[in-house]
Chains A and B, each alone.
Chain A
Amino acid sequence: MDSPLNNKLITESSLFENNTKPRHRTARFWMSIFQISTVIAIIALSALLITIVNNAFGYVIYESDVDPDTLAVNGVAVDDLPKEELMAVLQSNISQGLYRRFEHDMPFEERTREDVLALIYERVIDPKVVTQYSLSDSIFKRSEIVQFAAVEYPKAELIFQSWINWDFVKAPQSGDPLRAGVRTAVFGSLWTILFAVLLAFPIGVGAAIYLQEYADDNWINRIIQTNINNLAGVPSIIYGILGLAIFVRLLEKITSGAFLGVVDPTTANGRTILSAGLTLGLLILPTIIINAQEAIKAVPSSLKQASYGLGATRWQTVWHHVLPNALPGIMTGTILAISRAIGETAPLVVVGASTFITIDPNGPFSKFTTLPIQIYQWTSRPQDLFRNIAAAAILVLLMMLLSLNASAILLRNRFSNRN
Chain B
Amino acid sequence: MDNRMKSNEPVVIEVNNLNVFYGNFRAVKDVSITIPRNKITAFIGPSGCGKSTMLRSFNRMNELVPSAHVRGKILLDGVDIYEQDIDPVMVRRKVGMVFQKPNPFPKSIFENVAWGAQINGYKGNIDDLVEESLRQAALWDEVKDKLGQSGLSLSGGQQQRLCIARTIAVKPEIILMDEPASALDPIATLRIEELMEKISENYTIIVVTHNMQQAARVSHYTAFFNMDEDRAGYLVEYGNTSSIFTNPAKKLTQDYITGRFG
Contact = CB atoms under 8 A, between A and B. Distances in A.
A325 interface: yes
B163 interface: yes
Contacts of A312: 89, 116, 119
Interface stretch (B29-37, B101-109, B208-216, B249-257): B101-109
B92 A316 contact: no
Interface stretch (A150-158, A302-310, A342-350, A361-369): A302-310
Interface in A295-339: 302-313, 316, 320-321, 324-325
A216 B66 CA distance: 8
B235 interface: no
Given A216-B66, A217-B66, A305-B64, A311 B99 contact: no
Nearest to A306: B103
A324 B105 CA distance: 11
B161 interface: no
Nearest to B120: A311
Nearest to A300: B103
Given A303-B105, A305-B99, A321-B105, A311 B115 contact: no
21 contacts: A303-B106, A306-B99, A306-B103, A306-B105, A309-B92, A309-B97, A309-B167, A310-B92, A310-B116, A310-B166, A310-B170, A311-B89, A311-B92, A311-B119, A311-B170, A312-B89, A313-B89, A316-B119, A320-B115, A325-B106, A419-B106
B50 interface: no
A302 B152 CA distance: 14
B105 A309 contact: no
Contacts, number: 59
Contacts of B97: 305, 309
A324 B64 CA distance: 21
A358 to B, nearest CB: 52
A302 B115 contact: no
A316 B93 CA distance: 14
Which of A217, A304, A310, A325 has the most CB atoms of chain B within a 10 A radius of its CB?
A310
Nearest to A307: B105
B79 interface: no
A400 B19 CA distance: 61
A310 B115 contact: yes
Interface string A245-288: 00000000000000000000000000000000000000000000
Contacts of A302: 99, 101, 103
A83 B134 CA distance: 75
Contacts of A324: 106
A419 B66 CA distance: 29
Interface in A377-419: 419
Given A305-B61, A305-B64, A325-B106, A311 B116 contact: yes
Contacts of A308: 61, 64, 92
A310 B96 contact: yes
A245 B128 CA distance: 62
Q: Which bucket holds chain B's interface residue count?
A: 20 to 34
B1 interface: no
Given A309-B167, A310-B170, A320 B119 contact: yes
B90 interface: yes
Nearest to B150: A419
A350 to B, nearest CB: 44
B1 to A, nearest CB: 29
B59 interface: yes
Given A217-B66, A316-B119, 5 more contacts: A216-B66, A303-B103, A308-B64, A309-B97, A310-B170
Contacts of B101: 302
Contacts of B106: 303, 324-325, 419
B75 to A, nearest CB: 20
A309 B61 contact: yes
A318 B89 CA distance: 15
Given A217-B66, A302-B101, A321-B105, A309 B96 contact: yes
Interface in B73-111: 89-90, 92-93, 96-97, 99, 101, 103-106
Contacts of B99: 302, 305-306, 309
B102 to A, nearest CB: 9
B151 to A, nearest CB: 11
B72 to A, nearest CB: 22
A273 to B, nearest CB: 40
Nearest to B163: A306
Nearest to B67: A217
A304 B103 CA distance: 10
A145 to B, nearest CB: 62
A303 B59 CA distance: 17
A216 B67 CA distance: 11
Interface string B123-160: 00000000000000000000000000000000000000
A307 B163 CA distance: 11
A30 to B, nearest CB: 39
A309 B59 contact: yes
A308 B56 CA distance: 12
B58 to A, nearest CB: 11
B202 to A, nearest CB: 18
A324 B107 CA distance: 11
Nearest to B172: A311
Contacts of A303: 103, 105-106
A279 B176 CA distance: 53
Which of A309, A316, A320 has the most CB atoms of chain B within a 10 A radius of its CB?
A309
Contacts of B90: 311
Nearest to A302: B103
